[in-house]
């Protein structure tokens, strides 16, 4: 990956920004997925130790006619390709985070990005649970293990984990955590839960 120019007043990014040094490190590819406007870009932006690569564009009237904005507040931009970030968990493990667009018209891109991924963190809006069904179906179709991160939005009451599990028809072993995608520590805790689950599955 060559030098990448950033927008606005952000500095230019080079290969060294995206590839951490150290021959002993193990790179782990993780997908951050979810339906439209669930907070994937915000999540990666809150936790990435590098300037995240984002492909957000301002929504046009044409996009509003295609994308369902019901239940979405203040949504003015949308991801048109992917979000990318990096998080080093230890001297030996570094996560590369790939955020997918939420719209169904980008499903082919999801399939391409799923190749080589160890697992997925599925962000869920507790007020739009039905929108998560196609996302979960796709991740299961790709054969990826996953955890559910319920992105708690301001003003919305928290839902009991048991009720969420029943509504999403999850297996008992599937991790479910509540997070705030804007908060670094909260996002880190959600990813840590996923990684621990993946390690347990691999052992």
List the chain pLDDT tens, one digit each, 203 residues. Answer: 443 333 343 344 444 544 455 446 789 999 999 998 899 999 999 999 998 876 554 534 444 444 454 544 544 444 445 889 999 988 888 999 999 886 566 677 778 889 999 999 999 999 999 999 999 999 999 999 999 999 987 767 788 999 999 999 999 999 999 999 999 999 999 999 999 999 999 88
Is the residue at 11 inside a domain?
A: no
Sign of the CA dihedral running 11, 14, 17, 18: positive
Q: Which two tokens stand for residue 108?
A: 């082919």
Is the residue at 178 inside a domain?
A: yes
Is the residue at 101 inside a domain?
A: yes
pLDDT reported for residue 102: 61
- pTM for the full predicted model: 0.76
Is the residue at 5 inside a domain?
A: no
Find where tokens 């932006």 sit.
45
Query: Which residue range(s) make up the domain with 74?
Result: 24-202
Is the residue at 14 inside a domain?
A: no
Is the residue at 148 inside a domain?
A: yes
The packing angle between helices 40-47 and 184-202, to 10°, is: 90
Q: How many domains does the chain contain in total?
A: 1
How far apart CA 83 and CA 10 sit, in angstroms, is 16
How far apart CA 12 and CA 15 sit, in angstroms, is 10
pLDDT reported for residue 4: 36
Is the residue at 6 inside a domain?
A: no
CATH number at residue 72: 3.40.50.300
pLDDT reported for residue 28: 92
Is the residue at 168 inside a domain?
A: yes
């Amino acid at each position: 990956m060559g030098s990448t120019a950033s927008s606005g007043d952000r500095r230019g990014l080079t290969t060294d920004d995206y590839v951490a040094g150290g021959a002993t490190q193990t790179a782990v590819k993780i997908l951050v997925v979810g339906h439209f406007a669930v907070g994937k870009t915000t999540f990666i932006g809150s936790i990435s130790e590098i300037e995240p690569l984002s492909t957000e564009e301002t929504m046009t009237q044409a996009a509003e006619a295609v994308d369902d904005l019901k239940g979405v507040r203040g949504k003015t931009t949308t991801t048109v390709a992917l979000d990318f970030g990096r998080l080093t968990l230890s001297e030996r493990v570094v996560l590369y985070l790939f955020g997918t667009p939420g719209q169904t018209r980008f499903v082919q891109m999801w399939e391409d990005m799923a190749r080589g991924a160890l697992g997925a963190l599925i962000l869920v809006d507790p007020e739009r649970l039905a929108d998560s069904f196609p996302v979960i179906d796709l991740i299961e179709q790709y054969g990826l293990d996953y955890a559910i991160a319920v992105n708690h939005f301001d003003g919305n009451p928290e839902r009991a984990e048991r009720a969420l599990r029943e509504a999403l028809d999850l297996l008992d072993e599937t991790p479910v955590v509540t997070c705030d995608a804007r908060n670094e520590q909260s996002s880190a805790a959600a990813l840590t839960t996923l990684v621990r689950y993946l390690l347990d599955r691999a052992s």
